[in-house]
């Protein structure tokens, strides 16, 4: 027993991040997949560790860590020499990685995803407003364009340079989500190239959300993302 335990749910971007770190570092852990539809995240096991009843929830020995970003930092600092080094020690390189990681955590969430996905989920069809949909799509397109340009300008394979880092751990799940929601990557050639290459990484394949292999996301529901 490694003494590490992760509660996670399929398709959750916050869960995917620490799972990628664990896989990149080759760290053994006990994996406990919860079912969102059965409210496993509100069950006694998770609630005992995380009063918010959210996943990911992680335990490493006696240390309990909630919040996906905190788990990633914990793993990187505890196991920095194991597997892929996700935060470089050189201060300039480190700053670049952290900038892109936080930029992604902030903007991909609020500008790209929140508007298009949450508005759609949380607003009844009859209450949806054309102008809000348009504004959300514009925000999403603008955000993806920023990242497409970054990747084009740096000419590197990864978001913060030549190596896969924490910036990719934070960014890739958002991009994969956009792909899952029928985003047409042909409009973002650098993102397309990045996505197609990074999705082949063993860590990504090993942690791909299991239910994504069972069929498409409700493409008819999210078809409007195609208009991006």
Ligand X SMILES: N[C@@H](CCC(=O)N[C@@H](CS)C(=O)NCC(=O)O)C(=O)O
Q: Which of 53, 83, 152, 161 binds ligand X (CB under 6 A)?
A: 53
Strands annotated E in 141-183:
none
> What is the size of the binding site for ligand X (CB under 6 A)?
10
| Cβ atoms of 100 and 163 closer than 8 Å | no
- At its nearest, how many Å lie between ligand X and the CB of residue 87? 18
54 binds ligand X (CB under 6 A): yes
Kindly state whether residue 12 participates in binding ligand X, applying the rule CB under 6 A.
Answer: yes
H-type alpha helices, 64-208: 68-78, 91-103, 119-122, 130-154, 166-180, 189-198, 202-207
| Stretch of 47-55, 147-155, 168-176, 193-201 lying at the interface with ligand X (CB under 6 A) | 47-55
Q: Considering the complex, what minimum distance in angstroms separates the CB of residue 9 from ligand X? A: 6
Interface residue with ligand X among 6, 55, 166, 191 (CB under 6 A) is: 55
Residue 67 is a binding residue for ligand X (CB under 6 A): yes
User: What b/e sequence results for 158-169 when a residue is b if at least 16 CB atoms lie within 10 Å of its CB, and e otherwise?
Assistant: bbbbebbbbbbb
User: Hunting for tokens 């290459």 — which residue is that?
Assistant: 197
- Residue 14 in the binding site for ligand X (CB under 6 A): yes
Q: What angle do CA 59, 25, 185 make, to 5 degrees?
A: 105
Q: Which residues would be at the binding site for ligand X (CB under 6 A)?
A: 9, 12, 14, 41, 53-56, 67-68
């Amino acid at each position: 027993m490694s003494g590490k335990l992760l509660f996670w749910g399929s398709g959750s971007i916050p869960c995917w991040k620490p799972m990628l770190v664990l896989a990149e570092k080759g760290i053994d852990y006990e994996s406990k997949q919860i079912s969102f539809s059965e409210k496993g995240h509100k069950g006694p096991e998770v609630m005992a560790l995380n009063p918010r009843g959210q996943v990911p929830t992680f335990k490493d020995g006696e240390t309990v860590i909630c919040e996906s970003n905190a788990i990633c930092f914990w793993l990187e600092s505890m196991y920095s020499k194991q597997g892929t080094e996700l935060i470089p020690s050189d201060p300039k390189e480190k700053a670049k990685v952290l900038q892109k990681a936080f930029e992604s955590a902030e903007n991909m969430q609020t500008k790209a995803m929140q508007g298009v996905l949450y508005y759609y989920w949380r607003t009844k069809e009859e209450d949806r407003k054309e102008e809000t949909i348009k504004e959300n799509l514009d925000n999403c397109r603008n955000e993806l364009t920023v990242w497409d340009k970054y990747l084009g300008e740096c000419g590197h394979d990864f978001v913060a340079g030549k190596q896969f880092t924490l910036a990719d751990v934070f960014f890739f799940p958002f991009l994969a989500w956009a792909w899952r929601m029928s985003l047409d990557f042909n409009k973002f050639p650098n993102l397309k190239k990045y996505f197609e290459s990074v999705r082949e990484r063993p860590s990504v394949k090993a942690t791909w959300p299991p239910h994504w292999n069972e069929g498409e996301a409700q493409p008819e529901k999210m078809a409007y993302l195609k208009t991006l």
